[in-house]
Amino acid sequence: METKKDILIMGIETSCDETSASIVLNGRKVVSNIISSQISLHQKYGGVVPEIASRKHVELMIPVIDEALDKAGIKLKDLDAIGVTYGPGLVGALLVGLSAAKGLAFAIDKPLVGVHHIEGHIAANYIQHEELEPPFICLVASGGHSHIVYVESYDKFQILGQTRDDAAGEAFDKIARAIGLGYPGGPLIDKAAGEGDPKAINFPRVYFDGGSLDFSFSGLKTAVLNHLHNLSQKGEAYDINDISASFQQAVVDVLVKNTVNAAVKMEVNKITLAGGVASNRCLRKQMKEHAKAKGIEVLYPSPVLCTDNAAMVACAAYYGFIKGTFCDLRLNAVPGLRLGEK
């Protein structure tokens, strides 16, 4: 399909605990990006409670959509398409955004574009860096995913490595809870680590044989928990900052090494970061340092575009739209949707 005029797309994202609607012009310019976070609701449970998330999405979806339109100063009929995350994620949560998106697309008789959540995270980089084009390597690290993706083109992805157990963000959240920092753990560990010594405790780093670029964080999590347990049995106090810094360094070392190796393997000179963990200051800094030594540039989105948001969904939907990859109103939520699967 030829793009003859400006294309305005509304993105909708409800795969976890953020209710978000955004309007993006020509895939790269954010006109409005409304994100209503439910973090405070889930905090007392130490993690996202799926049923509470779904119910809250139902309450927030329409007000968030209205606000996105108001902020953009446009009417529904001005939109050219609706993009929506249909997986992976929590099924009840996904269904709320998907139903809203289908209703809107039907009401204005405009195309519906289904977006893979990880594709959305990757696309956040296109918004931040207007000149960015594939191919590149993207490290997608969030509460639910740790993937090294070769982004061959706007709609062609190859997973080069992924976690075999916990996601990186999940490990941050679990360790933060164990040391009493609260939820979500990533930003809190990031902050505490800034005051600690990353060499204080030598936690394990897992690398797989045979050139595998996969990750494993469950052994690291157990090592930290054992360390805490041993100290408490001896009646010794632990230093939250040192534990945070040493744990964070162990995660970052593996993420950096495998991602840089992936870029070298695929002979690309660009690495992008995506997902909530991409906000991590230590990861950003050390990825840049190690990549630079191999002549590779590192790009990442601003923190608001790293965590879940609908602007990234609208951006990914734009590339589906210009290719004419539309979905009909039978599109269903796919909680375990794999990247590249339609």
Q: Which residues bind Zn ion (CB under 5 A)?
A: 142, 308
Give the nearer residue to ligand KG4 in terms of CB position, either 17 or 214. Answer: 17
CA 211/CA 143 separation, integer angstroms: 25
198 binds ligand KG4 (CB under 6 A): no
Burial category of 230 from C-beta neighbours within 10 Å (exposed 0-12, middle 13-18, buried 19 and up): exposed
When binding is defined by CB under 6 A, the residue of 38, 249, 279, 286 that contacts ligand KG4 is 279
Q: Compare residues 72 and 93 and give the one whose CB is closer to Zn ion.
A: 93
120 lies in the site for ligand KG4, by CB under 6 A: no
What's the CA gap between 7 and 79, in Å, rounded?
Answer: 8
To the nearest whole angstrom, how small is the minimum distance from the Cβ of residue 306 to Zn ion? Answer: 9
Alpha-carbon Rg for the chain, nearest whole angstrom, is 20
Question: Which of 14, 38, 163, 280 is in the footprint of ligand KG4 by CB under 6 A?
Answer: 280
Which residues fall within 8 angstroms of residue 146, CB to CB, at 6 or more apart?
A: 140, 162, 163, 167, 168, 169, 215, 217, 255, 277
Q: Report the C-alpha gap between 167 and 211 in whole angstroms.
A: 20
How far apart CA 156 and CA 152 sit, in angstroms, is 5
Among Zn ion, ligand KG4, none, partner that 92 touches (CB below 5 to 8 angstroms by kind): none
Closest CB 187 distance from ligand KG4, rounded Å: 4
- 276 makes contact with ligand KG4 (CB under 6 A): yes
Name which position in 185, 198, 301, 320 contacts ligand KG4 (CB under 6 A). 185
Query: Which region among 55-63, 215-223, 272-280, 328-336 touches ligand KG4 (by CB under 6 A)?
Result: 272-280
Minimum CB separation of residue 116 from ligand KG4 in Å reads 12
Q: Which of 154, 172, 300, 321 binds ligand KG4 (CB under 6 A)?
A: 172
Q: Which of 7, 10, 12, 16 binds ligand KG4 (CB under 6 A)?
A: 16
Task: Select from Zn ion, ligand KG4, none the partner in contact with residue 184, using the beta carbon and a kind-dependent cut-off of 5 to 8 Å.
Answer: ligand KG4
The residues in 38-57 that bind ligand KG4, with binding defined as CB under 6 A, are: none
Q: Judge contact between 113 and 83, C-beta under 8 A.
A: yes
Q: Binding residues for ligand KG4, per CB under 6 A?
A: 16, 142-144, 169, 172-173, 184-187, 190, 275-277, 279-280, 307-308
